[in-house]
Amino acid sequence: MKIKPYVYCLLACTALACNNPSNEQKSDKANLGDTTAVSNTAAFGGQIDGKEVKLYTINNGKGLTATLTNYGGRVVSLTVPDKESKPVDVVLGFATAAQYKASSEPYYGATIGRVGNRIAKGKFELDGKNYSIFTNNGQNTLHGGKKGFQDVVWEGEQLNDSTLVLRYRSPDGEENFPGNLAVKVTYTATANNGLRFDYEATTDKRTPVNLTNHAFFNLNGEGSGTINNHLLRVNANRYTPVDSTLIPLGNLASVKNTPFDFTTAQTIGSRVDQDNEQLKFGGGYDHNFVLNKGKTYGLAATVTGDRSGIKMQIFTDQPGLQFYGGNFMKGENVLKSGVKDDYRTSIALETQHFPDAVNQTGFPSIILDPGKVYKTTSEYIFSVVK
């Protein structure tokens, strides 16, 4: 029997023990990791690296509910109403922490760092010193190396029904990056019917930082099939072309008259199989778009589910947006709804600085200096089109 999206969302929440504690339980004296501010974590997956994995639920009181875990700073589920006012879980995820740990796709819903996206050949030079990072994506480093932020247990503090704070201290030399990096991510279920990510970081040595979230979306609901019929508009006249290993060539190319032109809304699959070298390199879309708004806060992209009518607008102060169309999904993992993560059944839209920025002098810098605060905001806002 095929499970409808709104039904499997409820099943997933039951399996994950998504019970929000009362306000009385969340006192002003709550400390980091206070178990009174979390759900029944035993049902979710026990310990990783000797630290307890916990689940948290936040909501805005208007129909948006997000379940998150401190393992990897992940969005486990995100439920919003569809055009018929039925709840739909629009984020792919797993029922246990162990499944996240064992997944052949390690980035489901995760906070990505220290450096999101790729570093060419895992090497960069900073202040006269050469650094080598583990190459986990062919000859390149992807999303922070062998054990990025998606594979660590964060400290959590639920401030109220709508706000969760996760913190992680990345020690000097972790994955060979310099400096002790203190990271804080605040997740807020907003009155705009959005999920907002506020990232902060400080360091005691100069170090590259490029944080993002790697939620995989299907706006028709997890397990509902292809995303190729989703309608996508990206506020970008240019993108960064890549070589065969998906490292940017360094130039900013026009999207005009190419399959990368989403300046007007297009279905994702309408041109994905065209005879285009860039599409061949990525197996489809896996490219960074240069947002027209620059570094100011503004609209980056709009996606609409063809069946649900759910519209997602992405706002950010970051200069780039990585659009990944699920090209490498192979149906190897069973999701929380009981279905597999088949080919092109989700998309990732990661707000970011540009890939390999640490090696590309023409790209906006991702180097954080001691005494400075890395601070960025992105929000995913949901509505419906009837």
Report residue 44's pLDDT band, with 50, 70 and 90 as the boundaries. confident
Report residue 331's pLDDT band, with 50, 70 and 90 as the boundaries. very high
Q: Taking 70 as the threshold, does the pLDDT of residue 53 lie above it?
A: yes
Beta strands in 221-261 (DSSP E): 231-234, 238-239, 253-254
Q: Taking 50 as the threshold, does the pLDDT of residue 348 lie above it?
A: yes
Pick the closest to residue 198 from 148, 159, 160, 164 (CA basis). 164
Phi-psi region of 193 (alpha: psi -120 to 50; beta: other; left: phi over 0): left
Pairing of strands 155-160, 163-170: antiparallel
Annotated catalytic, 287? Answer: no
Pairing of strands 110-112, 367-368: unpaired
Q: Which residue is catalytic, options 143, 350, 353, 379?
A: 350
Fold of 5-227+322-384: Beta-galactosidase; Chain A, domain 5 (2.70.98)
pLDDT in tens, 105-122: 999 999 999 999 999 999
- Rounded to whole angstroms, what are the CA distances from 4 to 9, 33, 166, 378? 9, 35, 32, 30
Q: Taking 80 as the threshold, does the pLDDT of residue 200 lie above it?
A: yes
* Amino acid making up residue 2: K
Report residue 40's pLDDT band, with 50, 70 and 90 as the boundaries. very low
Pick the closest to residue 284 from 295, 305, 269 (CA basis). 269
pTM: 0.89
Phi-psi region of 216 (alpha: psi -120 to 50; beta: other; left: phi over 0): beta
Phi, psi for 360 (deg, rounded to 5): -115, 100
Fill in the DSSP letter of residue 208.
Answer: E
CA distance 351 to 235: 12
Q: Taking 50 as the threshold, does the pLDDT of residue 35 lie above it?
A: no
CA distance 174 to 176: 5
pLDDT in tens, 82-107: 999 999 999 999 999 999 999 999 99
- Rounded to whole angstroms, what are the CA distances from 186 to 68, 164, 200, 203? 11, 6, 9, 18
pLDDT (average), residues 8-14: 37
DSSP 53-112: --EEEEE-SSS-EEEEETBTTEEEEEEEE-TTS-EEE-B---SSHHHHHH-SSTTTTEEE
Annotated catalytic, 52? Answer: no
Tokens of 28: 């002003």
Residue for token pair 């860039």: 278
Beta strands in 190-305 (DSSP E): 194-203, 207-208, 212-214, 231-234, 238-239, 253-254, 266-267, 286-290, 298-304
Report residue 42's pLDDT band, with 50, 70 and 90 as the boundaries. low
CA distance 345 to 329: 8
- Residue 294 is predicted with a pLDDT of 87
- Residue 282 is predicted with a pLDDT of 96
Q: Taking 90 as the threshold, does the pLDDT of residue 29 lie above it?
A: no
Q: Taking 70 as the threshold, does the pLDDT of residue 66 lie above it?
A: yes
pLDDT in tens, 131-182: 999 999 999 999 999 999 999 999 999 999 999 999 999 999 999 999 999 9
- Residue 13 is predicted with a pLDDT of 42
Q: Which residue is catalytic, options 214, 230, 287, 353?
A: 214
* Amino acid making up residue 341: D
CA distance 236 to 293: 8
Among 46-50, 53-57, 193-197, 244-248, which is the least confidently predicted range? Answer: 46-50
DSSP 284-302: S-EEEEE-TTTTSSEEEEE
Q: Which residue has the higher pLDDT, 153 or 12?
A: 153
Give me the chain's average pLDDT, please.
90
Sign of CA dihedral 316, 321, 325, 328: negative
CA distance 112 to 151: 9
Among 1-5, 12-16, 26-30, 174-178, which is the least confidently predicted range? Answer: 26-30
Domain spans, the chain: 5-227+322-384
pLDDT (average), residues 233-262: 98
